[in-house]
Amino acid sequence: MPVKKLVVAVGVLLATAAFVTPLFVILCAAPQESKSAPLVKELARLLDASKLDSIAAADPETGNYVAALYFPGAQLLVVSGKFGDTFLGPHRMSKREYREMYMDLQGASVVGSRLFAQDAGANGFVVKPIGGTAADTYERENKTIVFDGAWKKAKISAQDYAKSFSDADEHYARVVALLVAQAKPKTGG
């Protein structure tokens, strides 16, 4: 009988660890930088140096466009999507009409193609805001995820919250990398 009690105790311990570990990881991960954080910092540096408050780029992998509005030290708003016609995206890019591209993507992108990120603090996505700062949000297919650390309030598991954050941060990092490439000074001739 003592062996059975030991096995049951170990089972309970493992089950508890399986529940508590993701929770602990999420809470401890809050101060750590995400994949998007260094890219957003680089983009902010480039936009500040160029005195730009908006930027846009083509996404050759998806055929979409991505555009951002930058509010130094406060917020980075990033939208990506596909246009119904093939003229608008290249036209806006050739004229460096980045703010207009942002507005077009917010209102005229093909249904189901639009992704929207609100990066509070313009510092990359964080899994949970620190010190009363605003939460980052990510919208895809008309579903908005708020990264405020309150997965219970959102009625999802800690694991689902962590996966949602990881997926959103990975996509956000990818599109911000496109914006960084566009914002870099062009050299050569």
- Does residue 130 form part of some domain? yes
How high is the pLDDT of residue 133? Answer: 86
Asked if the model's pLDDT at residue 95 lies above 60, the reply is yes
Q: How far is CA 116 from CA 18, 50, 60, 111, 124, in A?
A: 33, 24, 18, 13, 14
Distance CA 5, CA 19 (A): 21
87-to-31, 112, 132 alpha-carbon distances in Å: 43, 20, 44
CA 186 vs CA 116, 180, 182: distances in Å: 27, 12, 9
Is residue 12 one of the residues assigned to a domain?
no
| pLDDT at residue 18 is higher than 60 | no
Q: Is residue 155 part of a domain?
A: yes
On whether residue 100 sits in a domain, the answer given is yes
How many domains does one find in the chain? 1
Q: What is the tens place of the pLDDT at every residue in 157-187?
A: 999 999 999 999 999 999 999 999 999 988 7
Which pTM was predicted?
0.81
Q: On the CB side of 28, how many CA atoms lie within 13 Å of its CA? A: 6
Residue 177 lies in a domain: yes
In a domain, 13, yes or no: no
Q: What is the domain range of residue 111? A: 33-183
- Position 144 in a domain: yes
Over range 121-132, report the average pLDDT.
Answer: 90
pLDDT at 108: 79
Q: Which percentage of the chain shows pLDDT scores above 90? A: 65
Whether 24 maps to a domain, the answer reads no
3-state SS string for 96-154: CCHHHHHHHHHHHECCCCCEEEEEECCCCCCCCCCCCCCCEEEEECCEEEEECCCCCCC
- pLDDT at residue 125 greater than cutoff 60: yes
- Rounded to an integer, the average pLDDT of 69-97 is 94
Between residues 126 and 29, the one the model is more confident about: 126
